[in-house]
Structure 1
Amino acid sequence: MAITPTLEFAFSVRLDFPPGPRLRLPLAGGGVRGFVSILKGEVTGPKLEGDVVPGSGGDWPLFRADGVAAFDARYMIRARDGGVIYMTNRGYAHAAPNVQRLIDRGEKVDPSAYYFRLAPAFETEPGTHDWLTRSVIVGTGEKQADHSIFNYFVVL
């Protein structure tokens, strides 16, 4: 008998980015590699609370020719109890061209109008937060002009 997974909300992460244009490298094979550093961030939720360590990482998205953004973000979280967690976050975002133009202009767009899904992985020391290293976690993203919000769920 197949088991149908359910999701349990675990935590949200808000990442703040520096103002201004972001680095873009047009690739010889097509697409564009980007980079944006993370200024700061906050982690809130029933299973994890803390802050993103300033200067501990960034996102290196690949903007593909088919309109898909493939994310590759890496940064450190310091939990409220002092524990340190290394987070790798990969995923995909795409939208209809008219919606993408609004997002690119920094306008507020309802997250249900575009696809933004994530599959994070974690590394941490043994103890309080090592549940992150043995749980499947999925996420959704919301893009704003100067920050993004990610909501994460444990697959039960």
Structure 2
Amino acid sequence: MSKDENRGPDAAPALEWLCRITARVAPLVSLGPAPSGERRYVPIVGGTVEGPALNGEVLAGGVDWQLARSDGTLEIMAQYVLKATDGALIEVQSRGYRHGPPDVMARMARGEPVAPHEYYFHTAMSFCTGSAAWARLNSLVAVATARREPGAAVLDVYLVGAS
């Protein structure tokens, strides 16, 4: 092994809080069983963006595509657009997972309150914008801790190693 291979990992990347996205959603639509699980989608109908750096709204028209796997894990692939307070449009692409104990997930499916620590819900995000003011987002990865609330998904978004 070379000297560099023995040195151990580099420092963990810093996280910079970008915003909280509260995406309002319409009822789930199931496409039925597929070979790998139940395919479904959830229309995104609007919402808010609030944070130290980015503020604005979630535009209607996005979609949260989901695959409910037989092991109880929900694969999430969302695509939607944010409109910043300066008028900039920012596309969001998000992939992640949500899972937890069957009783917790059943309570969530019934619309009952479920504490975020009772289940796993995280996504990796990328952005695309033509706005010069937000161009740095085009080259950064973000991660989100998320929670499901009745009628909405709430994501706290952190830029990875953005400093």
**TM-score (structure 2 length as normaliser):** 0.88
Kindly tell me the number of residue pairs found equivalent between the two proteins: 153
Query: 1:116 aligns to what?
Result: 121
Shift of 1:28: 3.8
Which residue identity is paired with 2:13? Answer: P
Query: 1:8 aligns to what?
Result: 16
1:1-156 matches, cutoff 5 A: 2-18=10-26, 21-55=27-61, 57-156=62-161
- 3-state SS in 2 of match to 1:27: strand
Which residue identity is paired with 1:51? Answer: E
**TM-score (structure 1 length as normaliser):** 0.92
Gaps of 5+ in 1: none
Distance 1:86 1:6 in 2: 23
Shift of 1:58: 1.1
Contact 2:14 2:160 in 1 (8 A): yes
Shift of 1:148: 1.0
Distance 2:128 2:35 in 1: 33
Distance 1:126 1:49 in 2: 15
Which residue identity is paired with 2:37? Answer: G
In structure 2, the CA distance between the partners of 1:28 and 1:11, relative to structure 1 (3 Å rule), is: closer
Distance 2:33 2:114 in 1: 29
State the superposition RMSD in angstroms: 1.3
Give a deviation string over 1:95-118, Cα, whole Å, max 9, x none: 011111111111111101100000
User: Share of identical aligned residues, percent?
Assistant: 35
Distance 1:30 1:137 in 2: 27
- 3-state SS in 2 of match to 1:100: helix
Gaps of 5+ in 2: 1-6
- 3-state SS in 2 of match to 1:61: strand
